[in-house]
Structure 1
């Protein structure tokens, strides 16, 4: 009995040792799997400098080259209108005739006061002239009487000139009863009819009598963002299209730049003169403007895919001695799949064509043939 039990215990112990040995054998690493992973194969290109010509497309607005609202200078009534909406007028042409009956009597009164002042002056002048001639004989006229006569003559002359100025003022105001075109253009708005009471803005009519616009020459106005303002060149030719005129392209040249940035939009106002003899284009139209942005100096230009962005930086990947280097850069203009970059790079550097953060900084890379 004892012998059988002892044999059974020995068999169990042997089985435990064999099982333990098998477990230890399975935990050993496979030496064939510890070899280093091969370097990633990538496509590269040589960094070169070139003249980068891009263009900026943005909306602009066509405006009349000259635009004016015409008001009455004096309180009056509209007697007759000589122009209406759409009328082409020439500079100096009479657009409306006004009437103010009280101005006739005011002018007559001013004329009478002028004539009276002239008569008084002539009398005082004649008196002084006589006293002066008499004073040539010693002892006949005292010097005090002669000085008083001269002072009276000067005073009467001043009164005459004041009356003349008052008369001229009323006469000039009477000329304002004719509303004339200050320049050639088209009447784009008329806000009164014959018989209407008109006057300066806020005194009789809030709205102008007419709105006059010059349309044979227009201004194309747009606001260029600060980032692109340095590339603008006065005299540069631009092209633009109008949505309502499909298939037509128009040309103009940059004529004026404001030279300052708008405090709200951080943009610069630029203007282009547009000849419009046929009046095909109208003020208020929105244009799609194509502005060339060319530089005189060569810059680094790379494919857009060569620039990668992460949450922390914008970078390109340079290959040097078989390893990848992340190089921080700043992006400039972009066009047609190309982008302008600035950073600590040199001409001839080897960059990845397709950069991404999967190619880690310092990792081994192999260049594809």
Structure 2
């Protein structure tokens, strides 16, 4: 019994020693495995942190074309300055500013005493010339009769006939002079050349009137405001998109929230070298006379959608010694810079005219030092460029 008990004690101690050794080995193995895993994770994290993180935006084509807003100037469809054609004094005026007039309506009358005397003198001269012509005709007729009996010479008859012709010419000239003065006398009444509204009156009763548009001054101004012409300077960039027949919306400060429709009726087809713009003329109906000639208007053109023009945020642009560029990613997340041309700048976004495709993945706010073929990682999912209102 004593021998058997002594043999069991070493066996039990050896067992515990083996179990302890195995436990230590397991613990060490697990520790080494965990450390190796952590080391791999650390290396992976370190490698990941070494790659720049970027955000992507997607170039977009606008659903509708842009709106071009330009200042314009409104003018009457027709405007006539009324000047005097005769000298005298203003006898009376019948209309004032704001008066609606019809074509041919008398605006004012001029007293023309000097012209009246000239007309009397011209008529007297005509009567005298006619009397001389009648006497010359009678004399020539008599001398023609005497020539038949050879009582007078052919030379004398020719002289009388020539005198008659001269007297007839004087009558014709006197008649023309009278008719000219009568026509001039007709200008003592100032009349409206067309239906419209009187926009200016710069004379009064008793004022001295001088004839002519150079020496004289404008007495009245009449304007046809049933329609207005609107003149707009369109930048050269947009001139091909605005042609005859293009419609526009007009707004004026006095009618806030209300718009009027105009249509392009003519373009200058030439660029002003000083302003870099071309003159465009629109026509807008004004039946109620609400729009005022000479006033300011804001003109809005709805431009057509350009399929080849893409919009991206302004933050995606990179401007350096190589020009204006954007950074894009290929399918392997490698960087490729593309040179682009800007069509329009809206502040928070820009329209790209060339150098970019709709399928390109564009990096928003590229990190400093980024170069072609660099590898990057995506920070967030790609998003579209924000539309500009």
TM-score computed with the length of structure 1 as normaliser:
0.76
Deviation at 1:181, TM superposition (A): 0.7
Correspondence for 2:248: 238
Which structure 1 segments of 5+ residues have no match? 1-31
Instruction: Output the CA distance in 1 between the equivalents of 2:163 and 2:318.
Output: 92
Q: Aligned in 2, Cα 1:161/1:326: closer, same or farther, shift over 3 Å?
A: farther
Aligned positions of 1:224-235 closer than 5 A = 224-235=234-245
Question: Which has the greater radius of gyration?
Answer: 2
Instruction: Output the CA distance in 1 between the equivalents of 2:141 and 2:335.
Output: 109
> Matched residue pairs, number?
333
* Equivalent of residue 89 in structure 1, options 101, 109, 125: 101
* RMSD of aligned Cα (Å): 3.5
Aligned positions of 1:187-226 closer than 5 A = 187-200=198-211, 206=217, 208-226=218-236
Instruction: Output the CA distance in 1 between the equivalents of 2:222 and 2:140.
Output: 57
Aligned positions of 1:19-58 closer than 5 A = 37-45=50-58, 53-58=65-70
Correspondence for 1:164: 175
Correspondence for 2:20: none
Deviation at 1:352, TM superposition (A): 0.6
Correspondence for 2:310: 301
SS of the residue corresponding to residue 248 of structure 1 reads coil
Aligned positions of 1:343-362 closer than 5 A = 343-345=354-356, 347=357, 349-352=359-362, 354-356=364-366, 358=368, 360-362=370-372
Correspondence for 1:328: 339
Which structure 2 segments of 5+ residues have no match? 1-42, 382-389
Correspondence for 1:315: 325
C-alpha distance after superposition, 1:152-174 (max 9, x if no partner):
44433333322222212211111
TM-score computed with the length of structure 2 as normaliser:
0.73
CA contact (8 A) 1:306 1:352 kept: no
Q: Aligned in 2, Cα 1:348/1:280: closer, same or farther, shift over 3 Å?
A: closer
Deviation at 1:78, TM superposition (A): 1.0
Q: Aligned in 2, Cα 1:316/1:119: closer, same or farther, shift over 3 Å?
A: farther
Q: Aligned in 2, Cα 1:307/1:61: closer, same or farther, shift over 3 Å?
A: farther
Q: Higher helix proportion, which one?
A: 2
Correspondence for 1:20: none
